[in-house]
Structure 1
């Protein structure tokens, strides 16, 4: 009997040692792979489903929606503040869901890229993302359980043509940047009718047409340019002088007021920037007066111009790449904990790149007062000459965020307004004057926008509206717009 008790006691001791060893290994593992030290225990008892705490739809949405009556007619831009935006986007979501689920497709056909130029000059409603959105991301956005295989793997632009035949059908056109895909589907039951679409076009035509657009090739008319222009490139019709709001960009007050020797200030900034990492990182002041938080596996660096740098310091496994939506979920959780720093701007997904090195690169940008803000050639302090061209640039895989550059800014309206000349012919003249190395062989036009130009600065700055030309080979040319001074 005594021997049995001794053996039982040894068993309990051994069990305790095994459990404590397991806990120590778990803490070490968690420490090197982000998250609180107890997270690995929680994962054992969790149901295995990954909870998406951030709404994908807050960041993945059309960059713009345009509506037109057809060839040589105005194209009206419908931004997020317009009463039609949500109605049209909800309808588009329904048709995309039907398409991805292979439901109710009456006909389908595939065309070359050039056919997309014919689609956008018909009576249509066109939805444009700033980058191609994969079917995986769209499935998550629209909560589609199972996605059928299609000829395309994502949507860059999409058009709804309310009338394609004498039956009660609509035409749905998908452009993925390479080909154009036509689908005929029944009109949504109890959705927008053909009369509803027509009434929208009528109302848009009767409204303020200051910012209506025209297809650039239509603007050129018989005087075709000797360089290549994408067939759906829109450009403002323009006018002599238009009023633009005075937009002010500044470093977030929490960063500006940060006293590196004041513990309360550091506690406050650590809570907002680091989240659950706060208790496990030490802090210090770098030679350039930036604040650095770090531990053996990661480092955050907050610069005085509002630039946040983040790096995961350990080697990552390329097999942890996963798919785009898994990586995007990690990215959005990372952004969501810090988004309060950015005030006065909307954040939208502007780029997705699948890297062969085992991760994805996501870029995000700001819109202020309905217009994009550009950060071209914004310097980052890496000890060598390096630049970013987007407000947020993040590398991530299915397990974690690997690195980030985030230009954190607050935006507000100033008391002055600007009178700006918006004739597109100014742009075409001035781009070749400013960039004198350009010629007809090395220049092209993929997109044209009126944007606010932001620079690297620790002080507040008044942003000027500029023309931004995006070329087919993904270069950007910024051209200052003509401003009327005085009365």
Structure 2
């Protein structure tokens, strides 16, 4: 009986954390003039006082999605949104293949958060979320029980750097929770995207003449703690003007 009560309490706490995360996302959406997800929340609580039934897959599909998938090489970046097929292809690979593995193992290395800017600027791929998703909630989404093995408290960003391991069957993944950086070496199984897909992504975008972007902080005189992307040099089109002083 005690075990049953503990399980109910645990489930209740997880549901509370999920809803709290959804509210956090809603606040960010509100700032971007998209509004809070009231339609979704009303569906949850429109149960006539009964315990709400939550479809984890629907919740995960609607809300546990990156704000952007960013491909980087040097000071050049490509920011992919949900309209780009690469966005969905990459996110499905990370969500369905990498995260379940990472949630079950300890990090191969834990690095100070000061290393994050250097890692995020590596040639590779970065996944950014609007909020720092709590690790327990991510585990619930992935239907994974991590126990004491998980090394991070949450997930704000994920970076994959293929060049950090020469082995073609292993990808190096970094998880950033705003307090530290956890490094993982993940074996690439047959249902994963090939490592070469990630390694060549920047080259593919360049060959297809996809406009690149730069970080505003890379320009002299601009200092910011957040990533603000602006068009790269080829994206600017200045008109010549003449100025005369009487």
The answer, yes or no, to whether TM exceeds 0.5 is yes
Q: Distance in 2 between matches of 1:200 and 1:188?
A: 19
Is the radius of gyration larger for structure 1 or structure 2?
1
Q: Distance in 2 between matches of 1:165 and 1:199?
A: 15
1:100 aligns with 2:95: no
- Mapping of 1:237-248 within 5 angstroms? 237=231, 239-240=235-236
Q: CA deviation at 1:240?
A: 4.2
CA contact (8 A) 2:124 2:198 kept: no
User: CA 1:190–1:178 in 2, change beyond 3 Å: closer, same or farther?
Assistant: same
Q: Distance in 1 between matches of 2:99 and 2:230?
A: 29
C-alpha offsets along residues 75-109 of structure 1, whole Å, 9 cap, x if unaligned?
1111111111121112211211101122xx6x611
Q: CA deviation at 1:219?
A: 2.9
Aligned to 2:70: 66
TM-score normalized with structure 2 length: 0.66
User: CA 1:59–1:218 in 2, change beyond 3 Å: closer, same or farther?
Assistant: same
Aligned to 1:274: none
Q: Distance in 1 between matches of 2:190 and 2:112?
A: 31
User: CA 1:35–1:79 in 2, change beyond 3 Å: closer, same or farther?
Assistant: closer
User: CA 1:95–1:35 in 2, change beyond 3 Å: closer, same or farther?
Assistant: closer
- Mapping of 1:7-18 within 5 angstroms? none
> Pick from 16, 41, 48: which aligns with 1:36?
48
Give SS of 1:191's match.
coil
Structure having the higher strand fraction is: 1
CA contact (8 A) 1:173 1:182 kept: yes
Give SS of 1:171's match.
strand
C-alpha offsets along residues 225-264 of structure 1, whole Å, 9 cap, x if unaligned?
5xx533x7242135446xxxxxxxxxxxxxxxxxxxxxxx
Higher relative contact order (CA 8 A, sep 6+): 2
User: CA 1:216–1:180 in 2, change beyond 3 Å: closer, same or farther?
Assistant: farther
Give SS of 2:229's match.
strand
- Mapping of 1:14-413 within 5 angstroms? 35-36=47-48, 39=50, 51-53=53-55, 55-56=58-59, 57-69=61-73, 71-72=74-75, 74-93=76-95, 94-102=97-105, 108-144=108-144, 146-149=145-148, 150-167=150-167, 168-210=169-211, 212-220=212-220, 225=222, 228-230=223-225, 233-237=227-231, 239-240=235-236
Aligned length: 187
CA contact (8 A) 1:174 1:182 kept: yes
Give SS of 2:99's match.
helix
CA contact (8 A) 2:103 2:146 kept: yes
- Structure 1 runs (4+) greater than 4 angstroms displaced: none
Q: CA deviation at 1:154?
A: 0.7
Q: CA deviation at 1:198?
A: 3.2
Aligned to 2:31: none
Aligned to 2:14: none
User: CA 1:53–1:133 in 2, change beyond 3 Å: closer, same or farther?
Assistant: same
Q: Distance in 1 between matches of 2:215 and 2:47?
A: 50
Structure having the higher helix fraction is: 2
CA contact (8 A) 2:163 2:199 kept: no
Q: Distance in 1 between matches of 2:191 and 2:165?
A: 19
Q: CA deviation at 1:202?
A: 2.0
Aligned to 1:365: none
Q: Distance in 2 between matches of 1:209 and 1:108?
A: 35
Q: Distance in 2 between matches of 1:81 and 1:164?
A: 29
Give SS of 2:152's match.
coil
Give SS of 1:148's match.
coil
User: CA 1:68–1:34 in 2, change beyond 3 Å: closer, same or farther?
Assistant: closer
Q: CA RMSD in A?
A: 2.6
CA contact (8 A) 2:214 2:230 kept: yes
Aligned to 1:265: none
Give SS of 2:219's match.
helix
Q: Distance in 1 between matches of 2:201 and 2:46?
A: 50
C-alpha offsets along residues 395-440 of structure 1, whole Å, 9 cap, x if unaligned?
xxxxxxxxxxxxxxxxxxxxxxxxxx9xxxxxxxxxxxxxxxxxxx
Q: Distance in 1 between matches of 2:86 and 2:210?
A: 16
TM-score normalized with structure 1 length: 0.35
